[in-house]
Amino acid sequence: MQRLEDLVRLLGPNDPDYEFHLASISLDQEPAAREPTGMASGIAPRSPPGGSDLAAPYNQRRMATRVRRRRRKPHHPIWHKLAIPLGILVALVLVAGGMAAAWAIDVYNSAPALASLKPVQKGRSSAIYAADGSLIGFIRSENVRQPLPEKAQPQVLRDATIAIEDKNFFEHGALDYEGIARAAWKDLQAGAAVQGASTITQQLVRNLYIHNPENTLKRKLIEASLAVELEEAHDKNWILTQYLNSAPYGTVEGQTAVGAEAASQTYFSKPAKRLNLTEAALLAGLPQAPSEYNPFLDPKAALKRRNEVLLVMNEQGYITGNEYREAKTRGLGLNPGDKYQVIKDPFLFDLVQNELIEEYGINTVRKGGLKAYTTIDPDLQAKAEYAVENYCSVCYPEGGPVAGLASVDPSTGAIVALASTEGFADESQFNYAWQARRQPGSSFKTIVLTAAVKEGIDPGSTYYDGTSPKALEIPGGGTWTVNNSEGEGGGTYDLESATWHSVNVVYAQLDLDVGPENVTQMAQEMGIESPLQSVPAEGIGGLGIGVTPLEMADAYATLASGGIHHDPTAVSKVEFPNGKVDNFEKDSGKRVLTEGQAYEVTRILEGVITQGTGAGYTSMGCSSAAGKTGTSEELSDAWFVGYTPLFSTAVWVGHPTTREYTGFGGPTAGPIWANYMSEAVEGDCPEFEAGSAPELEGLDSDHTSSGSYDGHEEEAYEGYEEESEESEDKGDGGDNGGEEEDAAEPEPEPTPAPEPTPTPAPAPSGGGVSPG
């Protein structure tokens, strides 16, 4: 008993059986004071087995048991405590799950039909090619993309993409349920989204049909529904091909490479079909995080990602262990490409691009995947460049005169060559052949002559007094004083001789008789697009802002084609991705003259080369060649515009920013024209078509004279030719016979831009602005 008491004290009240032990001690110490419970109720206690001598200990044990049962708290299993809340939770989960499932099914079924959706316009890069098919350059856009057919996509890239993106691509359907479960388990283990489960089909749907995709369950459900429909419509190889043509592979210098071909050119300067194992592995790893793995921005991350691709390719049997071990030791092997940035001929490129934008709009041009073929013939272009560089006797860089040459095919309007020498360094983006508007001088007289012939005036029997200076009354009042370049003198000229010798006074009177408005209309019908003011001075080359060599070449081409005008075009044809082809070179133009009328003008212009102001400078080996010289006031602009049935070509020479002396048109621009044209025709000299002779008669007006051309004046002109050459050698500006000062205003400096906006100079109000 003593030991029990000591033990109880040692255990203390914290022991769970402490009260039981105390009760046992109390019963042992006071047996007589306690009676069995059954005595109080009149029920005799049951004797324990073994006799009465065991009754006391047995009763004590029973009493102790009762006390313990009364004192101790009952111990129930823990699940009894959790059963109710768990049951409630399960019920709530089931209810919520049912609602969520119903919502998910509703969203999934709400996805629109695939056929009703318009794919996101990833676009494809448009390119400009020369006539021989050589690439000039790609039209710049925020995305560069060149889709490839399946056979042009390298198998190694297709294998690498499947290995890293969707290893069971060919085994599962549109959705990879095993992959979804695997990704969900890993996300649960990590406590965050660490692995995706989208198949290549789902990613293609996202690329093509989901505008601005958000990372929401609703978007994923709709995406899944569309993916199932896409796989029902197309086979796996089609889907993989389209994915490799639409996946983003990173942004470099502001342009995003979309598709494998653009990526291969951007990172390795090669077509995708030539990718090797390590290069394909690098590209295959980019679409999941193009910025993070961009090898130009983070080479270490790109190398690690590439090696991950190589590892899974090895694990899935696409490459052997030896191939993997050898490949992972290689560097990235980058070779930055500039295919989408380099433009071989910026001037031509800008001209073609502007024409395309005018025709189709800027969005189609930049993203429509157009293949535009220019009319520029590389061989003729090289010959034109050679001519302006080597046959301009007065040209020199950084401040000297420059030259521009434009040549077109009269039968179609196709521009076959545009050449320009370099002016100032800051004018590197300026082409004088089609951007520079300059005073045309006497080369514009051809348009006045053409208008006269169209009105029925016979050049051979219409005479004018060519005495200079001559005061002429102009419509609306006022007097216009006109001078010939050689000063006073002259005589009576018919229009043919006045054309050969470029007599200003005669053409000023002819312009008044034909009517300045009619001259303007004729110029526009022949292709002049620069603004004209319909003033008499324009008839002898005094234009407000001038014209470009391309405009003049196009205008003369109307004569070369027998009176049919074709709008000039730098575009031969445009091919669309769907196979449609637009042809820009058209044989059918607009007839503005009869064939006979055109030939009458051509016949006269042939004399300019053989006996006029172009004689000795413009012979190019063909008898069937015609043209006209042009020299502006102060001899600052020198022109020769001429043609054969094959080509119409205009050459301008002058100072880019000043009105300094350049020279007469014949000796200055003529040799450039002659060299180019002789090389261009290569001995092919067809005759002009004469057509039916037009009905013409001599004009009788207040300005015309009676009589015939006197040879005395021709001798005087020949003396002028010698005088002109002398004055050119001396470097003076020649005798302009007192032209009005406002006619000699310098032209503004050209702005080096694809489409410069020239500042109009005041229209000359008089004077011999066209000495040659």
Q: Please choose, from the candidates 634, 612, 608, the residue with its C-alpha nearest in 3D space to the C-alpha of residue 767.
A: 634
108-117, 195-204, 417-426, 441-450: lowest mean pLDDT where?
Answer: 108-117
Residue 491 has a pLDDT of 87
In this prediction, what percent of the chain has a pLDDT beyond 90?
Answer: 52
Structure tokens, 462? 């219409």
33-42, 52-61, 174-183, 390-399: lowest mean pLDDT where?
Answer: 33-42
- 567 contacts 413 by C-beta, under 8 angstroms: yes
Strand, helix or coil for residue 590: strand
186 CB burial (10 A radius; 0-12, 13-18, 19+): middle
Residue 204 has a pLDDT of 87
- 221 contacts 104 by C-beta, under 8 angstroms: yes
109-123, 184-198, 296-310, 484-498: lowest mean pLDDT where?
Answer: 184-198
Q: How confident is the model at residue 449 (pLDDT cuts 50, 70, 90)?
A: very high
Q: What's the CA gap between 664 and 672, in Å, rounded?
A: 13
Chain-centroid distance of CA 715 in Å reads 60
Q: How confident is the model at residue 290 (pLDDT cuts 50, 70, 90)?
A: very high
Count other C-beta atoms under 10 Å from residue 243's C-beta.
25
- 744 contacts 634 by C-beta, under 8 angstroms: yes
Structure tokens, 87? 């049951």
Amino acid of residue 20: F
Amino acid of residue 602: T
Residue 584 has a pLDDT of 86
Q: Is the pLDDT of residue 16 over 70?
A: no
Residue 31 has a pLDDT of 44
Q: What's the CA gap between 418 and 650, in Å, rounded?
A: 10
Q: How confident is the model at residue 198 (pLDDT cuts 50, 70, 90)?
A: confident
Structure tokens, 66? 């009762």
**Looking at the whole model, is its pTM more than 0.75?**
no
Q: Is the pLDDT of residue 589 over 60?
A: yes
Distances (CA, A) of 22 to 17, 29, 35, 57, 497: 9, 11, 18, 16, 151
Instruction: Tell me what the mean pLDDT of segment 259-287 comes to.
Output: 96
Distances (CA, A) of 602 to 144, 345, 558, 670: 50, 34, 10, 18
Q: What's the CA gap between 459 and 90, in Å, rounded?
A: 108
Q: Please choose, from the candidates 344, 447, 313, 309, the residue with its C-alpha nearest in 3D space to the C-alpha of residue 135.
A: 344
Q: How confident is the model at residue 153 (pLDDT cuts 50, 70, 90)?
A: very high
Q: What's the CA gap between 14 and 382, in Å, rounded?
A: 110
Q: What's the CA gap between 149 and 45, in Å, rounded?
A: 104
- 589 contacts 641 by C-beta, under 8 angstroms: no
Q: Is the pLDDT of residue 101 over 50?
A: yes
pLDDT (tens digit per residue) in 639-666: 999 999 999 999 999 988 888 999 999 9
25-34, 125-134, 270-279, 439-448: lowest mean pLDDT where?
Answer: 25-34
Q: Under 8 Å CB-to-CB from 102, ≥6 apart: which residues?
A: none
Q: What's the CA gap between 422 and 431, in Å, rounded?
A: 8
pLDDT (tens digit per residue) in 353-384: 988 998 899 888 988 899 999 999 999 999 99
- 591 contacts 691 by C-beta, under 8 angstroms: no
135-139, 712-716, 767-771: lowest mean pLDDT where?
Answer: 712-716
Q: How confident is the model at residue 124 (pLDDT cuts 50, 70, 90)?
A: confident
Residue 73 has a pLDDT of 46
DSSP 698: -
Distances (CA, A) of 28 to 10, 55, 57, 61, 517: 19, 13, 9, 10, 145
Q: Is the pLDDT of residue 249 over 90?
A: yes
Structure tokens, 728? 């050119």
Q: Please choose, from the candidates 501, 499, 472, 500, the residue with its C-alpha nearest in 3D space to the C-alpha of residue 486.
A: 501
Catalogue the E-assigned strands of 414-498.
415-420, 463-465, 470-473, 479-482, 492-494
186-195, 441-450, 496-505: lowest mean pLDDT where?
Answer: 186-195
Amino acid of residue 305: R
31-45, 335-349, 410-424: lowest mean pLDDT where?
Answer: 31-45
Angle among Cα 168, 169, 173 to the nearest 5 degrees reads 100
First vs last C-alpha separation in the chain: 149
Q: What's the CA gap between 38 and 44, in Å, rounded?
A: 6
- 627 contacts 618 by C-beta, under 8 angstroms: yes
Q: Please choose, from the candidates 546, 355, 533, 336, the residue with its C-alpha nearest in 3D space to the C-alpha of residue 432.
A: 546
Q: Is the pLDDT of residue 305 over 50?
A: yes
Distances (CA, A) of 480 to 408, 441, 617, 768: 36, 17, 33, 10
What is the overall mean pLDDT for the chain? 79
pLDDT (tens digit per residue) in 168-184: 999 888 887 776 676 55
Q: How confident is the model at residue 116 (pLDDT cuts 50, 70, 90)?
A: low
- 329 contacts 309 by C-beta, under 8 angstroms: no
Structure tokens, 586? 């058209």
In this prediction, what percent of the chain has a pLDDT beyond 70?
Answer: 70
Residue 759 has a pLDDT of 34
pLDDT (tens digit per residue) in 398-421: 778 999 999 999 999 999 999 988
Q: What's the CA gap between 545 and 532, in Å, rounded?
A: 8
Q: How confident is the model at residue 214 (pLDDT cuts 50, 70, 90)?
A: low
228-232, 396-400, 531-535: lowest mean pLDDT where?
Answer: 396-400
Distances (CA, A) of 548 to 216, 514, 531, 660, 734: 59, 24, 12, 19, 25
Catalogue the E-assigned strands of 76-197.
127-129, 135-138, 143-145
Q: Is the pLDDT of residue 311 over 90?
A: yes
Instruction: Tell me what the mean pLDDT of segment 73-77 comes to.
Output: 51
Residue 756 has a pLDDT of 36
Q: Under 8 Å CB-to-CB from 134, ≥6 apart: which residues?
A: 378
DSSP 751: P
464 - beta bridge partners?
493, 704
Helix, strand, coil share of the chain (percent; to 5) = 45, 10, 40
Residue 105 has a pLDDT of 65
pLDDT (tens digit per residue) in 136-149: 999 988 889 999 99
Residue 120 has a pLDDT of 63
Q: Under 8 Å CB-to-CB from 613, ≥6 apart: which residues?
A: 442, 500, 501, 502, 629, 664, 665, 666, 721, 772
Sign of torsion over alpha carbons 327, 329, 330, 332: positive
Q: Is the pLDDT of residue 687 over 60?
A: yes
Residue 379 has a pLDDT of 93
Q: What's the CA gap between 184 and 195, in Å, rounded?
A: 8
Q: Is the pLDDT of residue 670 over 90?
A: yes
Q: What's the CA gap between 112 and 381, in Å, rounded?
A: 54
Residue 230 has a pLDDT of 85
In this structure, what are the phi and psi dihedrals at residue 764, rounded to the nearest 5 degrees?
Answer: -60, 135
Q: Please choose, from the candidates 191, 165, 155, the residue with its C-alpha nearest in 3D space to the C-alpha of residue 275.
A: 155
Q: Under 8 Å CB-to-CB from 121, ≥6 apart: which residues?
A: 367
Residue 260 has a pLDDT of 95
Element (H, E) at 509: helix 504-514
Sign of torsion over alpha carbons 69, 72, 77, 82: positive
Q: Is the pLDDT of residue 718 over 60?
A: no
342-346, 565-569, 746-750: lowest mean pLDDT where?
Answer: 746-750
Q: How confident is the model at residue 708 (pLDDT cuts 50, 70, 90)?
A: low
Residue 481 has a pLDDT of 92
Residue 548 has a pLDDT of 93
How many residues are listed for the chain in this entry?
Answer: 772
